[in-house]
C-alpha cells in the first residue's frame, strides 16, 4: 500500500465517523420503527450479533436487525428458513435497513462504509497469501464486490474483486462504489444466491445459534 493510500485511509476513517454519526441521528426514527416492528412481530432480541473477522483478522460483533423467528420448529415439525423469515425481516433485508445497526460498528472503528464484506470466521483458513490483503483495511457495509454481481459471483470471484479493491483503494473507486450502491438500494433488487448457498446456510445457522445463546443467557 502506497503512502498516498495510507493517508487516504486516515481521511476515510474521519469521514466514516462523522457521516455515521450524522446518519444515526437522521435515520434514528426509521431504526426505531424497524426495532418496534421486529419486536412486535416475534419474540427475541431486536439486534443480533454476527462474529466476523475484521482488520488484521481481529474478531468483532457485527450488528444487524433480527430477520428470523427464534423458533426452529412448530408442532414438532422443523420450520424451513423461508417459514422462519418474518415479514419485517423480509422488508428490512430487501431495503437493506437490516444493515443500519452497522453504523455503530463504524463509530467503534470496526467497520467502514466501504470495504471488503466480512465473511465468516470459518473462512479464515481458506485464504491464500494474496487474498489476505483484504484484512489490511476495515471491512465495509458495501463493497466493490457488491456492485459487480454480489451473490451471483463465485467465492473466488469475490476474492479477486477484493484484491483489486485493496490494491486500488482511493477516493475514485470509493466514490464509484458509493453512488452505485445507492442505485442498488433504491432499486430494491433481490438477488438469488445459488452459487453461494452453503455460505448463506452457514449464516442462517449462525443467526439461529446467536438467538439460542440469547435465550440461554436469559435462562429461557
Classify the C-alpha dihedral 160-16-60-90 as positive or negative.
Answer: negative
Q: Stretch 160-186: mean pLDDT, rounded?
A: 91
pLDDT of residue 113: 95
pLDDT band of residue 158 (cuts 50, 70, 90) is: confident
C-alpha cell at 156: 473466488
pLDDT of residue 191: 41
Q: What percent of the chain is predicted at pLDDT more than 90? A: 52
Residue keyed to cell 437522521: 26
Environment class of 159 (CB within 10 Å of its CB; exposed 0-12, middle 13-18, buried 19+): buried
Q: Stretch 41-51: mean pLDDT, rounded?
A: 90
pLDDT of residue 204: 47
pLDDT of residue 200: 43
Q: What is the mean pLDDT of the chain?
A: 84
Rounded Cα gap, residues 44 and 127, in angstroms: 35
Maximum average pLDDT range among 35-44, 69-78, 199-208: 35-44
pLDDT reading at 168 higher than 60 = yes
CB atoms within 10 A of CB 16: 22
pLDDT tens per residue across span 74-90: 777 887 878 888 999 99
pLDDT of residue 48: 87
pLDDT reading at 174 higher than 50 = yes
Can you give the length of the chain in residues? 220
The Cα-based distances of 124 to 53, 57, 75, 113, 160 in angstroms read 8, 8, 38, 22, 16
Q: Which residue has the higher pLDDT, 80 or 4?
A: 4
- What residues contact residue 163 under an 8 Å CB cut-off, 6+ apart? 130, 131, 133, 134
Rounded Cα gap, residues 160 and 149, in angstroms: 13
Q: Which of the residue ranges 12-16, 103-107, 154-158, 209-213 would you say has the lowest mean pLDDT? A: 209-213
Q: Stretch 109-117: mean pLDDT, rounded?
A: 95
Environment class of 190 (CB within 10 Å of its CB; exposed 0-12, middle 13-18, buried 19+): exposed
Determine if the pTM surpasses 0.75.
Answer: yes
pLDDT of residue 188: 61
pLDDT of residue 215: 52
Q: Which of the residue ranges 4-8, 31-35, 67-71, 113-117 would you say has the lowest mean pLDDT? A: 67-71
pLDDT tens per residue across span 114-148: 999 888 888 888 888 898 999 999 999 999 988 88
pLDDT reading at 211 higher than 80 = no
Taking a C-beta distance cutoff of 8 angstroms, is the pair 165, 144 a contact?
A: yes
Amino acid at each position: 500500500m502506497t503512502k498516498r493510500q495510507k493517508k487516504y485511509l486516515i481521511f476515510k476513517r474521519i469521514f466514516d465517523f462523522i457521516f455515521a454519526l450524522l446518519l444515526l441521528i437522521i435515520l434514528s426514527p426509521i431504526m426505531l420503527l424497524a426495532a418496534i416492528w421486529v419486536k412486535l412481530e416475534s419474540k427475541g432480541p431486536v439486534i443480533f450479533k454476527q462474529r466476523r473477522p475484521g482488520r488484521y483478522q481481529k474478531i468483532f460483533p457485527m450488528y444487524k436487525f433480527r430477520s428470523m423467528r427464534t423458533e426452529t420448529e412448530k408442532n414438532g415439525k422443523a420450520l424451513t428458513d423461508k417459514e422462519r423469515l418474518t415479514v419485517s425481516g423480509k422488508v428490512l433485508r430487501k431495503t437493506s435497513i437490516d444493515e443500519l445497526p452497522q453504523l455503530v460498528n463504524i463509530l467503534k472503528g470496526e467497520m467502514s462504509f466501504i470495504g471488503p464484506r466480512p465473511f465468516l470466521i470459518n473462512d479464515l483458513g481458506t485464504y491464500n497469501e494474496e487474498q489476505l490483503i483484504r484484512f489490511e483495511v476495515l471491512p465495509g457495509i458495501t463493497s466493490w464486490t457488491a456492485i459487480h454481481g454480489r451473490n451471483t459471483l463465485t467465492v473466488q470471484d469475490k476474492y479477486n474483486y477484493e484484491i483489486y479493491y485493496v490494491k486500488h483503494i482511493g477516493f475514485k473507486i470509493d466514490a464509484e462504489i458509493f453512488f452505485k450502491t445507492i442505485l442498488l438500494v433504491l432499486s430494491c433488487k433481490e438477488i438469488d444466491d445459488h452459487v453461494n448457498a452453503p455460505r448463506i446456510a452457514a449464516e442462517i445457522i449462525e443467526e439461529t445459534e446467536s438467538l439460542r445463546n440469547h435465550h440461554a443467557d436469559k435462562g429461557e
